[in-house]
């Protein structure tokens, strides 16, 4: 039976209870964070805590997430994930329990804090080398995508569209721009340059995205932070997504058409190999 963390307690998941008056349940008035762990070591935890802090500040939820780091470590240990090749910790903080009104509570309430740990399955080298497919779907999200809230229904709808199309990823498109995936950031290699959308309010500033940008710099790759227009996808030599559990995922087909020659490209492969080296260091 898995152990979870809820409001200061470690307890069996079957015993965890959240009030029906919790604003996270009623309004998605909450933020979340997902951090990978390799062989029991939290990956890029400082960046995750920083992003979580920013999300909380943007929603004016008063909670310091730095105290969750030992909680994450204990969850990995108590759930037998300390030696797993790939695991993750999920944390969610809501504004708390209050009478249902749209405006924030007039009196301070204690936030609800929930966390759990789980393993995830990475693709085999053979499956990764085959590459993956994606479809483009309209971006129906709100205007503050840069805040990592639990308001994820549009993302869920996009992911379902990918499932129904029989592919792995959905690429969200708005005003002719391929912004990012339903749960990851989107990249393309165009005319030899590695291109991804700049950090604005229309994408989530991914932790893995930032890490891969650092890899690009170390490898001396030409990087362009700019919008990727949908019509450019037919000219892209390569495409891939990045995310906490996505890592570096190659895309060889988008909307039924091959990306480049329809095979995993050399730049994507170099980035993934460097990523694997980084998490093993």
Q: Show the DSSP H helices in the chain as ranges.
A: 23-27, 45-58, 69-78, 125-130, 153-165, 207-219, 266-280
Residue with tokens 């790759």: 221
- Known active-site residue 148: yes
Number of Cβ within a 10 Å radius of residue 105: 13
What's the CA gap between 221 and 17, in Å, rounded?
49
Residue with tokens 């400082």: 46
CA atoms within 13 A of residue 174's CA, in its CB half-sphere:
17
- Maximum alpha-carbon separation in the chain: 60
Catalytic residue of the set 13, 148, 168, 174: 148
What's the CA gap between 207 and 48, in Å, rounded?
7
Strand-pair partners of 223? 194
Instruction: State the Cα angle at 209 between 206 and 210, rounded to 5°.
Output: 90
Give whole-number Cα distances, 10 to 13, 78, 92, 115, 143, in Å.
9, 9, 15, 9, 36
- The answer to whether the CB of 255 falls within 8 A of the CB of 135 is yes
What's the CA gap between 197 and 205, in Å, rounded?
10
What's the CA gap between 254 and 240, in Å, rounded?
11
Nearest CA to 181 out of 163, 195, 169 is that of 169
Catalytic residue positions, numbered: 148
């Amino acid at each position: 039976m898995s152990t979870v963390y809820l409001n200061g307690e470690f307890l069996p998941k079957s015993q965890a209870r959240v009030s029906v008056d919790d604003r996270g349940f009623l309004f998605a008035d909450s933020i979340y964070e997902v951090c990978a762990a390799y062989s029991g070591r939290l990956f890029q935890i400082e960046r995750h805590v920083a992003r979580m802090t920013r999300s909380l500040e943007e929603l004016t939820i008063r909670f310091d997430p730095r105290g969750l780091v030992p909680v994450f470590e204990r969850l990995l240990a108590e759930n037998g994930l300390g030696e797993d090749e790939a695991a993750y910790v999920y944390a969610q903080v809501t504004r708390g329990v209050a009478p249902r009104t749209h405006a924030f509570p007039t009196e301070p309430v204690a936030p609800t804090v929930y966390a759990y740990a789980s393993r995830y399955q990475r693709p085999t080298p053979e499956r990764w080398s085959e590459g993956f497919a994606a479809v483009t779907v309209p971006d129906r999200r709100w205007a503050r995508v840069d805040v990592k809230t639990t308001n994820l229904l549009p993302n869920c709808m996009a992911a379902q569209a990918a499932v129904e199309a029989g592919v792995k990823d959905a690429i969200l498109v708005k005003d002719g721009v391929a912004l990012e995936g339903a749960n990851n950031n989107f990249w393309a290699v165009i005319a030899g340059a590695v291109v991804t959308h700049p950090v604005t309010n229309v994408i989530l500033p991914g932790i893995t995205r930032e890490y891969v940008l650092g890899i690009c710099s170390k490898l001396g790759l030409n990087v362009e932070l700019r919008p990727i227009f949908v019509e450019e996808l037919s000219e892209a030599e390569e495409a891939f997504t990045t995310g906490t559990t996505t890592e570096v995922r190659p895309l060889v087909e988008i909307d039924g058409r091959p990306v480049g020659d329809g095979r995993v490209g050399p730049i994507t492969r170099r980035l993934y190999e460097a990523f694997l080296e980084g998490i093993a260091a």
